[in-house]
A = this chain, B = another copy of it.
């Protein structure tokens, strides 16, 4: 096993760097800060693949003029509790937070708000958006479709993105429950890490280009695909596939974006889809007012009880017992706020390359 070398940066350094990179492309000041905030949230929460590790992709797409740095976001259709938003081909990191606000504003008036967004781009971590809902005492949902990487159960090719679902529930004394999960069995980042380390991957993560299960991470990259959550028919792979479709339809078909295998790539190096069936990619946000259902204080007391009850579950042998969803990310954030964010050297080198091209200092 090869140990992975890292260099640690304070979150302020990374946030400042990202903000200035976005400003470099002419984003309005508030939008640049907003986009950097979404990336910083990923880096703080330990979701390393979705933080500044992605800045190079955004940088390249902005450099090529493939993303609009000054989008005018538009509501194209609405009812009291639903809306469709056109993201004007802006950064998802800018469009997403604005569309999420629309959903939350509607929820405060109508009890709930549901927004499908088309003509947008990758929005960072889904968890960011549901944390924002918590700040307003709402139950938030966030989903997005993304570039194809995942095969349907019984398929032999990439047809769906990793299509995440996030939802969060507040408590009173306990920290909130924050669920943020891709609908595939394992993250693509884990495949890349296994390759870097020269390790095999577990059965159930992916298939090779002929559609057979593989434990060689190179096979996934070379024309293979990730498997949906559940992995195979016996263990419920049709369920993960169904969830992937759910996210795709709500995010992209409802909003008039590209869906399934036609979802445009996130990075310049990725394959351009065979057809265009809409505009950009799609997100879906929801917000529910807790006191639209139950007294909010009573709900939170029950959630305290809920969380404590689940923490007290009898542990499986060799474990410390079940976690509460959101625990690992919150703990990572506590550590990283103090000690900084460790970046692997290839990511540091990418950021340095951006620094050289733009003249923006990295530290």
Contact = CB atoms under 8 A, between A and B. Distances in A.
B235 A235 contact: yes
Given A111-B80, A236-B229, A249 B169 contact: yes
A210 B255 contact: no
Nearest to A326: B242
Contacts of A235: 185-186, 202, 204-205, 229-231, 235
A110 to B, nearest CB: 5
Contact of A185 (B169, B212, B230): B230
Interface string A248-290: 0110011110011100000000000000011000000000111
A5 interface: no
A259 B243 CA distance: 23
Contacts of A290: 254
Contacts of A238: 181, 323, 325
B185 A322 contact: no
A234 B194 CA distance: 13
Given A177-B249, A306-B249, A241 B325 contact: yes
Number of identical protomers = 2
A235 B83 CA distance: 35
Contacts of A302: 253, 259, 277-278
A211 interface: yes
Given A112-B112, A229-B239, A306 B253 contact: yes
A239 B278 CA distance: 30
A249 B59 CA distance: 40
A78 B317 CA distance: 45
5 contacts: A80-B111, A111-B114, A153-B323, A186-B234, A229-B236
